[in-house]
Amino acid sequence: MDRIRVIGGSRLEGTIPISGAKNAALPLMIASLLTADTLTLKNVPQLADVIQLGRILGNHGVDLTIAGKRPGDAPGQGQTFRLTAHDIVDTVAPYEMVSRMRASFWVLGPLVARMGKAKVSLPGGCAIGTRPVDLHLEALRALGAQIDLEDGYVIASAPKGLSGGRISFAKVSVGATHNALMAAARAKGETIIENAAREPEVGDVAECLVKMGAKIDGIGTSTLTIQGADELKAAAHTVLPDRIETGTYAMAVAVTGGDVMLDNARADLLEEPLEVLRKAGVEITTTNRGIRISRNGAGLKPVKVETQPFPGFPTDLQAQLMALMSVAEGTSTIRETIFENRFMHVQELARLGADIALDGDVALVSGVKGLRGAQVMATDLRASVSLVIAGLAAEGETVINRVYHLDRGFERIEEKLSRCGAQIERLSA
Ligand code: EPZ
């Protein structure tokens, strides 16, 4: 199994191109199930999760062609995917697939909307918490699907198709909003989704559905009104930049006291995290090329942060912020409100010398003068990258095991960082 070796202490300087957002690319790929025509997606990041979802969709009958890079393409430019679900050959998503990739559960809504039936495995537990699917099922019931649970599978049926309805989520869920939105795009009549997730990736999917022929009002707000269409048609859409990758590199630059331009990054997608970094003493300049991050000499100030759905501070940046704050001058308070078990990185950061005390959903991070390299291992994607950030600040060598987590969500991370002066390399097994 590959590992990543980081020798800490180098200041990052230069440019990092920001890729297309993983968490938009995945539901956008799934949206291809809604039409017999071709959906063209540009700026798709090269990630293990994207490849895996391509395989899963292939099982359902989606034909995927990937256009490679062309001469003259910008270095950060992603791939172009053409997805055609001319015939859906299988409406079953088996356990082996859904348990490996939770987002593949989101095929449920599109499949039942188009085919009148779907059988999708319950995703099961994962490293960051229990992650139930009750909200997904409630949404599809509101659109007229009958839902049965059998042998670990959700069986959804709507032989005469789905019809519009009112969905009022008791809790904000990104995945349930994606599922409901995609299903509503092919339901008869009007659907209103209240307390919808406002994450920019939801807005990106909604905009793509509009290009495919759905009518959607309220994009970017917590109330979405959708007029479903009998048929959706071919469309081309460019995946928006990855705000979590942006925030991650911003923290990596900050921890090394560097100066880096994050090309293609959009500040409007992560105002709250950028504000937190400013409060910590990081300089942030937004230009039409992207976001410039620098910290020259000044120490890092501690912060008080609570994770929240968008536009709040994202849970997907919590681990990275913790790594950064572990070398701040004082004690930071970080509260995780989205996933109950998302502190798996704490023990690994402690191996590098971080001083973090956990009390329920709160982590008290007392900044230390310096971290020291060690062997570490992570249990999820964002936890892994927090160890890279800590490794960049640590004295000596840090070896991060289980790199497959990183490959699921960060495109060419060692290349992007080493181009800016980091000493980082992949050790192939
Ligand atoms: C998405 O997961 C993201 N995944 C996650 O990113 C992200 O951490 C999360 O949203 C929150 O922003 C993708 O986009 C592929 P949720 P999702 O449904 O949709 C509870 C990463 O590292 N809930 O918004 O699965 C749930 O337990 C990943 O890229 C219910 O109670 O998250 C959690 O407490 C990790 N019932 C909260 O809602 C439900 O039916 C938010 O979860 C569904 C969710």
- Ligand 1 nearest-atom number relative to CA 23: 14
Kindly report the protein residue whose alpha carbon is nearest to atom 19 of ligand 1: 175
Kindly report the protein residue whose alpha carbon is nearest to atom 27 of ligand 1: 131
Query: What is the pLDDT tens value at each position of the chain, 429 positions in all?
Result: 889 999 999 999 999 999 999 999 999 999 999 999 999 999 999 999 999 999 999 999 999 999 866 655 555 567 999 999 999 999 999 999 898 889 999 999 999 999 999 999 998 656 666 679 999 999 999 999 999 999 999 999 999 999 999 999 999 999 999 999 999 999 999 999 999 999 999 999 999 999 999 999 999 999 999 999 999 999 999 999 999 999 999 999 999 999 999 999 999 999 999 999 999 999 999 999 999 999 987 899 999 999 999 999 999 999 999 999 999 999 999 999 999 889 999 999 999 999 999 999 999 999 999 999 999 998 889 999 999 999 999 999 999 998 888 989 999 999 999 999 999 999 987
Give the residue carrying structure tokens 């050790």: 427
Domains of the chain: 3-17+241-427 (3.65.10.10), 25-238 (3.65.10.10)
CB-based contacts of 395, cutoff 8 Å, min separation 6: 8, 9, 370, 371, 372, 373
- Ligand 1 nearest-atom number relative to CA 174: 24
Please, what's the b/e burial string for 307-323 (b: 16 or more CB within 10 A of its CB; e: otherwise)?
A: bebbebbbbbbbbbbbb
Res 379: pLDDT: 81
0.95 exceeded by the pTM?
yes
CB-based contacts of 49, cutoff 8 Å, min separation 6: 22, 26, 101, 103, 408, 409
> What residues are in contact with ligand 1 under a 6 Å CB criterion?
23, 26, 102-103, 129, 131-136, 171, 173-176, 315-316, 338-339, 381-382, 409
CA distance 93 to 101: 11
CB atoms within 10 A of CB 353: 18
101, 126, 267, 399: the catalytic one is 126
Res 296: pLDDT: 81
